[in-house]
Structure 1
Amino acid sequence: MNIYITYGTLDFLATYQEKYDGALLLEGDANSALVIETEGKNPFTEKHEYEVINQRGSLSGAGFVVMNHIPVSEEGRSLFEERFQNRAGLVESEPGFNGIRILRPLHQDPYIVMTLWHSHADFTNWQQSKAYEEAHKNRGTSKGLPETLFTGKSFVKEYMVAK
């Protein structure tokens, strides 16, 4: 399964959304995005192409989406992917959780950990939960992923699902 993402204005992307069944139109502060999950080819000219390497839940039904962009070195890809393949999955039992996709870039983009929630409040509640604390307890410790694995700082983009 692949995910393709294109970015632009909400109005422009809305015209594309009509052409693709199941496309997810996302409205952000700085820009908007259109996400398509498919076995097919990339319908966009932009090359933001990802292979889904781990997934739970659904894209449909979400009202809020968080994309954590993580730049990983070529040498660190296998260790990074192994960690996410063996993740505890604590997020999946959280109230308001809708889905998760771990996305391997097919080009020079960073990895993306995309979580889908019913609402922004549900995501905030997850961040303040004991489960979140447990899921991230090794971050910044010798048990966590080494800093040399990353080629830069990760960054997060948050979106509301446009209706």
Structure 2
Amino acid sequence: MNIFITTGTFEFLKKLEHKHPEEKLITMINENGALSYHESTGAIVFKEPRRYRALEAVGDVQKEGFVVMNNIPVTDEGRPLFEHQIKNRLANVENTPGFKALRILQPLSSNTYVIMTVWKNEISYQKWKSSDSFDTAHLNKVIDGKGPKIFESAPYISRYTITE
């Protein structure tokens, strides 16, 4: 599955969403602006999207909920190890109350992976953050220093609300 992401004004992105009802387009908003998320196996509806391939897709991203995107810049040589580790760490999140969807997005035109989780609401996400499942998913695995450098720079988190 291909994923395309773009940013813009909420009004513009909503118009684009309504113009393409046959496509899975979801508009999200936060204090910094709006983002449109497009899952597709075919055509791209954005002019200049960030492009991803879904390495893992659990659940269905619907037109409501609270979204957390963990943006993780990874070096080229660190990609195989990172992908292996991240797939194994997030196995239990889907059993968490309030969990709706997970996407592990491999970048096709940059170095920043996106781990996207969708929740019923922010309270569900906050409860997961204080759980053992969260701690397990975020364990820092120590590499003996002989392997590749994995991270290009510090990760950052973006939070959005999916709303009409």
After TM superposition, the score normalised by the length of structure 2 is: 0.90
Aligned residues: 161
- Does 1:86 find its partner at 2:88? yes
Instruction: Provide closer, same or farther for how the CA distance between residues 117 and 88 of structure 1 changes in structure 2, counting only shifts above 3 A.
Output: closer
Q: 1:108 aligns with which of 103, 107, 110?
A: 110
Q: How does 1:3-42 map to 2 (within 5 A)?
A: 3-21=3-21, 22-42=24-44
Report the counterpart of residue 57 of structure 1 in structure 2. Answer: 59
Maintained 8 Å contact 2:74/2:111: no
Query: Which stretch of the first structure deviates more once superposed, 32-41 or 82-91?
Result: 82-91
Runs of 4+ in 1 over 4 A off after TM superposition: 143-147
Q: Which amino acid aligns with 2:131?
A: S
- Give SS of 2:16's match: helix
Instruction: Provide closer, same or farther for how the CA distance between residues 105 and 7 of structure 1 changes in structure 2, counting only shifts above 3 A.
Output: same
Instruction: Provide closer, same or farther for how the CA distance between residues 60 and 77 of structure 1 changes in structure 2, counting only shifts above 3 A.
Output: same
Report the counterpart of residue 156 of structure 1 in structure 2. Answer: 157
Maintained 8 Å contact 2:17/2:27: yes
Instruction: Provide closer, same or farther for how the CA distance between residues 130 and 32 of structure 1 changes in structure 2, counting only shifts above 3 A.
Output: same
Maintained 8 Å contact 1:103/1:113: yes
Q: How does 1:62-77 map to 2 (within 5 A)?
A: 62-77=64-79
After TM superposition, the score normalised by the length of structure 1 is: 0.91
- Give SS of 2:68's match: strand
Structure (1 or 2) with the greater strand fraction: 2
Report the counterpart of residue 47 of structure 1 in structure 2. Answer: 49
Distance 2:86 2:144 in 1: 12
Distance 2:43 2:110 in 1: 18
Distance 2:90 2:111 in 1: 25
Instruction: Provide closer, same or farther for how the CA distance between residues 123 and 154 of structure 1 changes in structure 2, counting only shifts above 3 A.
Output: same
Maintained 8 Å contact 1:42/1:49: no
Distance 1:132 1:152 in 2: 22
User: Taking every aligned residue pair, what percent have the same amino acid on both sides?
Assistant: 33
How far is the alpha carbon of 1:88 from its aligned partner? Answer: 4.7
